[in-house]
Amino acid sequence: MQVEVLNISGKKTAKKVELADVIYGVEPSDHSIYLDVKHYLAAQRQGTHKSKERAEISRTTKKLKKQKGTGGARAGSMKSPLFIGGGRAFGPRPRDYSFKLNKKTKVVARASALTYKAKENAITVLEDFTFEAPKTKNYVDLMKNLNLSDKKTVLVLGDTNNNVYLSSRNLEGAKVVKASDLNTYDIVNAETLILLESSVKVLESLLNK
């Protein structure tokens, strides 16, 4: 699959890039995408939720009333979850939500997500560029030139470029990542994927092993 390369002005250049079918034309695996997205989102959870149970709160342990003869149920302590201010029964405890996922499944998931984007014509290839200094206006102008101002985008760099990254950081719906850090969630979550020329080769080396 050949895609025309654009410059930062949004104009077509004379260059074209070949997107390998082994990455952008595979038989998509929806289940692999589901697992990889779930794996990513689970890893983002802090898991620091906690509520106090009856053994952890400070309340009197004095027996409230006599055992029998009141016409009501027995009550032994104000720490009981049945009373207002009592401990919570089976409350949440700190835990780690992350789980193991095979590397091959992640590769299949990313290739599947890229294939979907290619089928939707939601991949734009941009020639390599940089900004002289970090400036949000430069990135805004770039998106305007590409007619993507109102789209949720992910720009994929071949290597670290702090000026481009910092220029996009304050913009909602704009994300810049290195090709080696691109994950399935970013691909699926974006409306348009913008690949720099250098990132195409990096992705091929990572996903075509």
Tell me the per-residue pLDDT of 25-66, one tens digit each, with 9 for 90 and over: 999 999 999 999 999 999 999 999 999 999 999 988 888 888
Q: Are 32 and 112 within 8 A, CB to CB?
A: yes
The CB-side HSE value for 114 (13 A sphere, CA atoms) comes to 27
What pLDDT, on a 0 to 100 scale, did the predictor assign at position 12?
87
Cα–Cα distance measured from residue 168 to residue 137, given in angstroms and rounded to the nearest whole number: 9
- d(Cα 76, Cα 202) in Å, to the nearest integer? 67
Structure tokens, 140: 């805004």
- Model pLDDT, residue 2: 85
Angle ∠(80,85,90) on CA atoms, nearest 5: 55
Report the range of poorest mean pLDDT among 13-17, 168-172, 190-194.
13-17
Q: State the burial class of residue 114 (Cβ atoms within 10 Å of its Cβ: 0-12, 13-18, 19+).
A: buried
Given the DSSP bridges, would you call strands 12-18 and 153-157 parallel, antiparallel or unpaired?
unpaired
Residue 76: the pLDDT is 83
The domain defined by 2-46+98-207 folds into Ribosomal Protein L4; Chain: A; (3.40.1370)
What are 76-131's pLDDT values in tens digits? 888 999 888 999 999 999 999 999 999 999 999 999 999 999 999 999 999 999 99
Strand partners, 126: 6, 196
Q: What is the C-alpha to C-alpha distance for residues 114 and 158, in angstroms, rounded to an integer?
A: 16
The DSSP secondary structure of 62-129, one letter per residue, reads: S--S-SSSSSS-----TTSTTSTTPPPTT------------HHHHHHHHHHHHHHHHHTT-EEEE---
Cα–Cα distance for residue pair 175/153, rounded to 1 Å: 6
Where exactly are the structural domains of the chain?
2-46+98-207, 51-91
pLDDT digits (tens, 9 = 90+) for 123-154: 999 999 999 999 999 999 999 999 998 999 99
- Cα(67)–Cα(74) distance, integer angstroms: 6
